[in-house]
Homo-oligomer: A and B are copies of this chain.
Amino acid sequence: MSAVDYNSLKFSHIRVTLDDGVLVIVIDRSAARNTFAEAFAHELIQALDYADKDDRVRAVVFTADTSAPAYCSGADLSSGWKWSDANPDANTDHGFRDSGGQVTLAVLRCRKVTIAAVNGHAAGVGVTALQLPFDFRFAWADAKIALPFVRRAITPEASSSFMLPHLLGYSAAKAIFLSGETFTPTHPLLTRLYYAVFPKREEVFPAALKFAKELASNTSAPSIAATKAMLNHPPANVEEAHLIDSYMLKKMTAGERNDLVEGAKAFKERRLPKFTDPVDIMKNWAPWWKTLNLAPGSAKL
């Protein structure tokens, strides 16, 4: 991909900057309480797609302004539950595709490290699409985390009925979804969901950015991409895992690939490595997984 000039991009709902290998995406809808709208979703998906393809980007941090009333306060219901007319299939039962789920899939597709810096309250899709699919979540200790679907007469979206138990197990997921209660990040039910929790809103993003830069510097892009692929497309059982990881290890250790040689050398010399292999070198080794056709009319569901 030819280099994107992030400063020149004309986004209306997000701000995007590239900082030392880290693409920082800030939701910029403070006047609308940082609600989630379809136009915002499209821009975010576009930015994640750039991050996936741009070799300069090795990590992504998504965050909000600490002056905003929330990290994301949920779906924009200013016009009620109304779906975009832009998509004619949106009005058929089997053609409608939830925009929260589109964001979830775009985050999971991004082959770089992804971090959500949750520096404010979050509800509904502000948790499901804007937190669960990320590799790491950093949070403000007093952030209100709410998935109140059953109290609003709707259902979990953005693939969250899969992602939340995938991350935490079904005991936590059932309790969180079926109570519809509001939690804070240190609640025992959320144990492990947040990688780091901070007492002040202002501390969350700088810590996440510092962490992202460290990973951007010291991890190998094809390794990150392959590891993410193995975790996001789990094998059916331990034997299938053995076949997949044997194949990946063979590919990863073949030849005189720069990152492999540099990784071993840096380890012996007890110094930090300088990795340069682009993510695309592992492109042809994968995928082992099947992709569903999600186009309206094509899927069985």
Contact = CB atoms under 8 A, between A and B. Distances in A.
Contacts of A251: 93
Interface stretch (A15-23, A44-52, A262-270): A262-270
Residues of A contacting B: mostly: helix
Interface in A173-200: 173-175, 177-180, 188-189, 191-193, 195
A162 B238 contact: yes
A245 B169 contact: no
Q: How many copies does the complex hold?
A: 3
Contact of A150 (B102, B219, B253): B219
Contacts of A178: 113, 135-136, 215, 219, 224, 227-228
A110 to B, nearest CB: 12
Interface string A195-236: 100000000000000000001001110111011101111110
A153 B243 contact: no
Contacts of A104: 238, 242
Contact of A230 (B80, B156, B253): B156
Given A240-B292, A250-B93, A227 B155 contact: yes
A126 interface: no
7 contacts: A151-B220, A152-B263, A154-B263, A155-B230, A158-B242, A239-B291, A244-B301
Give 5 nearest A-B pairs by CB, closest first: A162-B241, A153-B259, A153-B263, A167-B171, A153-B220
Interface of A: 77, 80-81, 83, 93-94, 96-98, 101-102, 104-105, 108, 113, 133, 135-136, 149-163, 165-175, 177-180, 188-189, 191-193, 195, 215, 218-220, 222-224, 226-228, 230-235, 237-253, 257, 259-260, 262-264, 267, 273, 275, 277, 288, 291-292, 294, 299-301
Given A98-B249, A153-B223, 12 more contacts: A80-B264, A135-B175, A152-B263, A152-B267, A153-B260, A154-B223, A155-B223, A155-B230, A155-B252, A158-B245, A159-B242, A239-B291
